[in-house]
């Protein structure tokens, strides 16, 4: 692949997990990568063999100034950004009732505001280029929700999805595409050292406690292969047409399809009631019968 044909990637959270796998997959595909992390030396050590095709940069995504500085350095080095990947993120475990407010907010700062800051810093570059792809890492939980113990993380992922839908509508005329990635469980550090499990009161053992045991304390390991996922993403962004949402993993597909069916069934069951709220619709109408156990 010629230097002219290779893509320039800007990836956050590159030192481990999905970020590291994506750096490797993009480089193996012949592309160039701006690999950002809080500890860029770890990236430099891992990918030093690729020479000037990889640019490790320090980046705290919660800082708007740091995001702008990193984007400027990327463009100064490679001349452009073709694929922006907002991957940096983490989750800590705690019931909402007993969550530490500062910890809850800090997670949101990284998981949502980090996406906002980096995206906003890169948008002028992508707009002027008239091309580019923004890849936002969410989770199937950001579509389905309801995982006890990680309210801050899932709330942020729902916010990322809403933000990305608006972003896609606003930037489409500039040739900028947006894809939200929604994985299920993968063999990354997400539920390992990256996750802090706070005290779980007995009252929440059957919800938060059970989820923690299933996800973090399971010896089975996650089903998803980060290397395969990264290769799928690298291949997908090379297409002329990309999905607005890319599910990754068997559980992600199953959960998303089940959730969509339940949504449709509920909307259909309550359709007459919902329509009756408008002035011109028949009112009142009978509520749907309650299901008996």
The single residue listed with the structure tokens 């959730």 is 259
**If you search the block for the tokens 């480089």, which residue do you land on?**
27
259 is catalytic: no
Contact 128, 75 (CB under 8 A): no
How far lies 128's CA from each of 121, 123, 167, in Å? 13, 8, 16
Active-site residue flag, 157:
yes
Let me know if 153 is a catalytic residue. Answer: yes
Among residues 153, 164, 184, 204, which one is catalytic?
A: 153
Alpha helices in the chain (DSSP H): 17-28, 40-47, 64-78, 101-108, 114-129, 141-144, 151-171, 210-215, 226-237, 250-269, 271-275
Asked whether 37 and 13 are in contact (CB, 8 A), the reply is yes
Q: Token pair for residue 48?
A: 């030093």
Please report, to the nearest 10 degrees, the dihedral formed by the alpha carbons of residues 184, 189, 194, 199 taken in order. 60
Q: How far apart are CA 7 and CA 81, in angstroms?
A: 8
Tokens of 26: 């993009």
Active-site residue identified among 15, 139, 147, 157 = 157
Longest CA–CA span in the chain (Å) reads 71
Residue 242 falls in which region: left (phi positive, over 0), alpha (psi -120 to 50) or beta: beta
- Residue 155: how many other CB atoms lie within 10 Å: 18
Catalytic residue, from 138, 147, 164, 184: name it.
138
- Contact predicate 83/132, CB 8 Å: yes
Residue 121's DSSP bridge partners are: none
Catalytic site positions:
138, 153, 157
């Amino acid at each position: 692949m010629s230097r002219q044909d290779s893509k320039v990637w800007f990836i956050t959270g590159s030192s481990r997990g999905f970020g590291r796998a994506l750096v490797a997959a993009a480089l193996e595909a012949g592309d160039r990568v701006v690999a950002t992390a809080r500890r860029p030396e770890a990236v430099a050590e891992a990918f030093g063999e690729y020479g000037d095709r990889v640019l490790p940069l320090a980046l705290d995504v919660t800082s708007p100034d740091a995001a702008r500085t990193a984007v400027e350095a990327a463009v100064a080095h490679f001349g452009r950004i073709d694929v922006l990947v907002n991957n940096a993120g983490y989750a800590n475990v705690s019931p909402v009732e007993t969550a530490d407010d500062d910890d809850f907010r800090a997670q949101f700062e990284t998981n949502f505001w980090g996406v906002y800051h980096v995206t906003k810093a890169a948008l002028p570059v992508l707009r002027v280029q008239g091309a580019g792809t923004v890849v936002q890492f969410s989770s199937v939980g950001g579509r389905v929700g309801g995982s006890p113990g990680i309210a801050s993380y899932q709330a942020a992922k729902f916010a990322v999805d809403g933000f990305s839908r608006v972003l896609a509508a606003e930037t489409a005329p500039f040739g900028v595409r947006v894809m939200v990635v929604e994985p299920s469980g993968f063999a990354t550090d997400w539920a390992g050292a990256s996750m802090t499990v706070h005290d779980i009161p007995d009252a929440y053992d059957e919800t938060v406690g059970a989820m923690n045991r299933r996800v973090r304390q399971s010896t089975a390991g996650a089903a998803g292969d980060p290397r395969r996922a990264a290769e799928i993403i690298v291949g997908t962004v090379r297409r002329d047409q990309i999905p607005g949402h890319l599910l990754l993993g068997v559980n992600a597909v199953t959960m998303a399809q089940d959730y969509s069916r339940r949504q449709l069934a509920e909307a259909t069951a309550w359709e007459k009631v919902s329509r009756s709220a408008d002035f011109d619709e028949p009112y009142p109408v009978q509520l749907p019968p309650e299901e008996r156990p």
